Each structure stands twice: as C-alpha cells, then as structure tokens.
Amino acid sequence: MADHQGTWWIWKVFWILLIITAVEVVLGIIKPEFMLTQALGTSILNYTFIILTLVKAAYIVQIFMHVKYEKKAMRYALYLPSLILIPYLTFILLTEGSYLFS
Amino acid sequence: MASTAEMTQEENHWGGGSRPLGARYGKLMMWFFLLSDALTFSGFLTAYGLMRFKYESTWPIAENVFTHFPGLEGDQPLLYVALMTFILIMSSVTMVLAVNAGEKMNRKAVTNWMLLTIIGGFIFVGSQAWEWYHFISGDTGAVETDRQEILHIYNSEGERLSFSQVIHGMENGHASNHGEEFTKGEVLAALKSNKEFYLQEPGKAGKAFTHGESVAMLEAGDVVQGANMIRNEYGRKQFANFFFFITGFHGFHVFSGVVINFVIFYNILLGTYEKRGHYRMVEKVGLYWHFVDLVWVFVFTFFYLV
C-alpha cells in the first residue's frame, strides 16, 4: 500500500484488537448485573459481545486483509454475498431453533 | 463518434486485459475460496445456535466447562481461551508485517516475520490439543439417566461436586477427578449415604431433583466421566459433538495454514520470490491466515462467550 508509511498502522490495529478482546474477557468473567437484562431474545451483555466481535472482524477484514483498499467492484463482490447470506441463514436457523423444542 | 468509441472499448473487453476487480487471478481465487469457507463456517456456527436455542434451558455454559489454565488450580473461566485468541491475533499481526515487508522486497524481514507466524500457529494448535485433552478426560463426572439426560451432583450449599469430592469427602477429594475412575456402585453408595446431595440439570435454568429422586435416577442410570462423540459429562451430546466439530474444523484450518506457511517460508529461504521479482504468494497465504484468525474471533464469541 503506497499510502502506508512504516508499520504503525499494523500496530494500531493490533492494539485495537487486543483491547477489545480484553474488554470481552473481563465482561465475560465479571458479568455486570445491569447487563444481564433481557432484551429481544438475549441479554444486553450478549449483544455487547456480538457488536464487539463484529468490530474486531471489520478491522481484520478491512485492514489486515486489505479489503478497504480494493476496488469498489471487488469490495461489493466480497461484501454483498456474505452480508446478505450469513444474516439470512442466522435469522432462519435461530428462529426455527426457538420453535423446535415446543 | 461515440459509437465507435464504445465499440473499441467493447472489443478491448472481449480481448481481455482489463481488470474490473483490480486483483490478480491468484488473489481472486483465494478470495472466492475464503468466501465459500466463510459460508461453511457460518453454517456450522448457526447450526450450533439452532441446537442451543432448542435446548436453551439446559445447554451447558462454556465457562463451567472450560475452566482450566496450565499451572493454576481452581476455576479459571475464559483465561485460557483468551490466551489462545491473543496468540492467534499476534500471529496475524506478524503475517501483516511479513506481507508489508514483502511489498518492500525486504527478504530478511519477510523471513523473520514468516518464521514468527509459523511459530504462533504451532503454539495455537498445541493449545487446542491441550484443551481437547482436558475436555476429553473430563472434570467432575456426571450422572446419565436412562433417558440419556446428564445431571450433575450438588450439595445443600449449592456447590457442584466432583465424584472425587462425593466419594472421598470435601476435605480429601479434588474439585476435579484428575483422571481417577469411579464406578457407578461407589457413586451410588456415597449418594445414598449423604442426604444433602442431589442431582441438577446443567445450564441456566436446569431443574434440581430431591435426594430421593436422585438416588432412583442413578440406580436406573449410569455414571459418565469425560467426553466423546456418544456421551459427555457436560450435558447434551450435541454440545460435545459441536465442540469437536467446530474447533476441530478450525484447528484443521490452522494446521493446514501452518503447513502452507511453511512451504512459503521454505520458498522465501530458497529465494524463489526474489527471482520472481515479487512476494505476492506471501500476500495470498496472508489472506488465508487472517481468515483463520477471523473465524476464531467468531468461534471465541459464540462458543465461549455468549
């Protein structure tokens, strides 16, 4: 990447990933009382975990895998199938799962 | 004039040479493979979610299952898996540094960063083997009813007991069985003689049974220690099956990643890419390696955290 001087941008992402993971682990161990409130099927704590995970995933894909710097056509070719199919599959299976036991 | 211009442009497209995605063949193919692999992994993880939603109330909680850390006694939830995550993120960072050095044609730096990436991969696979070993050999032991349901032994203070504690008493027993095998007869005798012991289902909303019911259930059932594909002491059979399958499939990806990285590393040593004039192969295996890290981020969340 021509616009990248040195390696500081790699280490920046490293620290972001490390801090997010540390926050997740600390939350997972102490499980703060106020985050255990149920909302839309699961606890706020679980939503926090999922959002933090998506942030981590975005950094890995965008920076480490260089997708941010690819051509627009390439970005769409990679993002559209995954961002449509994966949430779709997740939605279908989790909805079905909660009916299976009854 | 416009039509002529369009025509020449079209001819150029059919003649090849234009690169609408701006990526070379090898990299594009790597990306298509990764996309399909991402869908495979999301299939596994959502299937796990399906089973978990089905058995919501009695599904084992990962923190009660993966509690060991090498050299530390007692319950250490999440610590070990956090260390594994750190190792994989670190080796992803050394991989970006290798790719970065490759773009600058810095052979010495590529060699060093690739070597560190391979070492990181090895440590991760080793850690996973350690975790599998502990999962398979078991922790507290459990009772399996004649309807194949898993129940754990508790005392009146609500503490979960291991077979070792049930049989040798709280002072002499260990919180983990440490590989000691117990028979159904031994556990049943100890359960009968201690009125304060009772059985309870695993999970967030597991049902507790009275002492009388517990004795009757063990008489009709059996004891389980450790885990395999057919039965496991942690809870639902599917829990162990998904653990073996998802972490196993991911571990296999890491293992193949290490092998591929090694092949590339060997070629760097031979000077293959120096002769070729570019280090694009390092970039391609780099994509694969980051993908393995990416999948682990999701496995970590959905298997261990949520």
B253: number of Cβ within 10 Å: 18
Write down the ipTM of this complex.
0.91
Can you give the pLDDT at residue A4?
A: 65
Q: How far is CA A14 from the centre of its chain?
A: 15
Of A42, A27, A86, nearest in space to B59 by CA: A42
Higher pLDDT residue, B158 or B9?
B158
Inter-chain residue contact B46 with A46, CB threshold 8 Å: no
- In chain A, which residue ranges form alpha helices assigned H by DSSP? 8-30, 44-59, 72-100
- pLDDT tens by residue, B99-129: 999 999 999 999 999 999 999 999 999 999 9
**Measuring CA to CA, which residue among B150, B217, B221, B223 is closest to residue B182?**
B223
Count the residues in chain B.
306
Would you state the pLDDT for residue B10? 55
A100 with B50: Cβ contact below 8 A: yes
Backbone phi, then psi, for B80, in 5-degree steps? Answer: -65, -45
Q: Is A36 on the interface with B (CB under 8 A)?
A: no
Question: DSSP per residue over B207-271, as a string?
Answer: PB--HHHHHHHHHHSEEE-SB-SS-BTTS-HHHHHHHHHHHHHHHHHHHHHHHHHHHHHHHHHHT
Q: Which residues of B39-63 are buried (b: 16+ CB within 10 A; e: fewer)?
A: eebbebbbbbbbbbbbbeebbbebb
Q: Are B281 and B267 in contact (CB under 8 A)?
A: yes
pLDDT at residue B4, as a whole number: 52
CB contact under 8 A, A64 and B54: no
Nearest to B91 by CA among A55, A60, A26: A60
What pLDDT does residue A51 have? 94
Mean pLDDT, rounded, for B57-71? 83
| pLDDT at residue B288 tops 50 | yes
Average pLDDT, chain B: 88
Per-residue confidence (pLDDT) for residue B296, from 0 to 100? 95
- Chain B positions touching A38 (Cβ under 8 A) are none
- What average pLDDT score do residues A40-61 get? 90
Rounded CA-CA distance A46/B305 in Å is: 8
**Average pLDDT, stretch B54-60?**
85
Task: Specify the higher pLDDT residue, B253 or B176.
Answer: B253
Find, in chain A, the residue whose alpha carbon is nearest to that of B288: A65
B239 touches A: beta carbon within 8 Å = no
Question: What is the SS3 assignment for A42?
Answer: strand
Residue of B nearest to A23 (CA): B82
Residue with tokens 């995933």: A57
- Evaluate if residue B212 carries a pLDDT over 80: yes
Is B52's CB within 8 Å of A18's CB? Answer: no
Confidence of residue B297 (pLDDT cuts 50, 70, 90): very high
Residues B203, B235: contact at Cβ < 8 Å?
yes
Question: For B162-200, what is each residue's pLDDT tens digit?
Answer: 888 888 887 787 888 877 888 888 888 888 888 888 898
User: Considering Cα of A81, then A86, then A87, then A88, what sign does the dihedral take?
Assistant: positive
Q: What is the pLDDT of residues B131-160, one digit of tens each?
A: 999 899 888 889 988 888 889 988 888 888
Q: Is the pLDDT of residue B3 over 60?
A: no
Q: Which of A60, A71, A78 sits opposite B290 (nearest CB)?
A: A60
pLDDT tens, position by position, A77-102: 999 999 999 999 999 988 887 788 66
Of B102-106, B204-208, B238-242, B247-251, the one with minimum mean pLDDT is B204-208
* pLDDT greater than 50 at residue B268: yes
Q: Is the pLDDT of residue B242 over 60?
A: yes
Are residues B301 and A53, on separate chains, in Cβ contact within 8 Å? yes
Confidence label for B260 from pLDDT (cuts 50, 70 and 90): very high
A21 interface with B at CB cutoff 8 Å: yes
